[in-house]
Amino acid sequence: MKKVSVADIKLSNQNEFGLICGLNVLESNEVITKVVEETLAITKKLSIPFIFKASYDKANRSSKDSYRGPGIKEGLRTLKSIKEDYSIPIISDVHSLEEVAPAADILDIIQIPAFLCRQTDLIEECAKTKLPINVKKAQFLSPGDMKNIIEKILSYDNENILLCERGTIFGYNNLIVDMLGLAELKDFKYPVIFDVTHSLQQPGGLGKSTAGRRHHALNLAKSAMALGLAGLFLEVHPNPDKALCDGPCALPLHQLENFLSQIKALDSLTKNLPVLEIT
């Protein structure tokens, strides 16, 4: 099994899981501060490695009127401040070649959005930074299709690869998570991250925005993490109904500690079981 280092965090399907957690998109300073400080306090209490995530620009929106975020310049300034003020690693997504260099100066992990994971030029530019790359598996790809993306990144001498599952298209306005598919992603030996938040989406389900099923967040996270994964990707919000983006999928912040307590217990149990090879 391969390990990917992010600051002092070692991500591996065999290590204790790491948490990639934060906001879907950067909002007000008040919301950002509350999310960062409460999540940091909880993860320290539970001894869970924590990487903060938030997008500076959500380019893939249902409607032209949807909130996209502060943009790259202001957004990266905010992410840099969070990184320096709280001494935590940062992940965010890039959408174009021009974004990669300035983002790489700030981020500890570069994320490639699902709909862009086959864009060779973008993958090349990200791989050349030598930073860890979290590749969201597109909703229309099979687990096996990720082999080509892995090979693209490796061709630019970057082995810092994270594979992220975020659900697969299943008819209109619906996503499913294939647990066998998650196991197949693990067969590549790279750390696998489960994005429970976006797997709960019902794309376009509200017409001009995405619907979601956050009431199933714990059920889905427990199901996936029972496979023994490197990390969980989770978005939280102090008031999901007032979130500026993807509120229907976000976990209420006040439930985070109890949520993570169960995930940590399950992760520990799973990774301490003896390996049983079935042939």
pLDDT tens digits, residue range 251-276? 999 999 999 999 999 999 999 999 88
In a domain, 156, yes or no: yes
In a domain, 279, yes or no: no
In a domain, 277, yes or no: no
Q: Are 56 and 80 in contact (CB under 8 A)?
A: no
Averaged pLDDT, 144-148: 97
Q: Is 58 a catalytic residue?
A: yes
Whichever domain contains 32, its CATH number is 3.20.20.70
Cα 244 from chain centroid?
A: 18
In a domain, 27, yes or no: yes
Q: How many domains does the chain have?
A: 1
Whether residue 63 is predicted with pLDDT greater than 80 in this model: the reply is: no
The total of other beta-carbon atoms located within 10 Å of residue 45's CB is: 11
What percentage of the chain reaches a pLDDT higher than 90? 82
Catalytic residue among 108, 246, 264, 267: 246
Whether residue 211 is predicted with pLDDT greater than 90 in this model: the reply is: no
Averaged pLDDT, 39-62: 91
Q: Which residues contact 209 (CB under 8 A, 6 or more apart)?
A: 62, 63, 66
Catalytic residue among 13, 24, 134, 160: 24
How much is the pLDDT for 1? 84
In a domain, 276, yes or no: no
Residues 105-133: pLDDT tens digits? Answer: 999 999 999 999 999 999 999 999 999 99
How much is the pLDDT for 245? 80
In a domain, 189, yes or no: yes
How much is the pLDDT for 62? 62
Q: Are 189 and 4 in contact (CB under 8 A)?
A: no
Catalytic residue among 53, 58, 137, 152: 58
User: Whose CA is closest to 138, among 175, 104, 168?
Assistant: 168
**What is the domain range of residue 146?**
4-271
Q: Is 246 a catalytic residue?
A: yes
Q: How far apart are CA 215 and CA 270, in angstroms?
A: 24
Handedness of CA 65, 212, 175, 103 (dihedral sign): positive
In a domain, 261, yes or no: yes
In a domain, 202, yes or no: yes
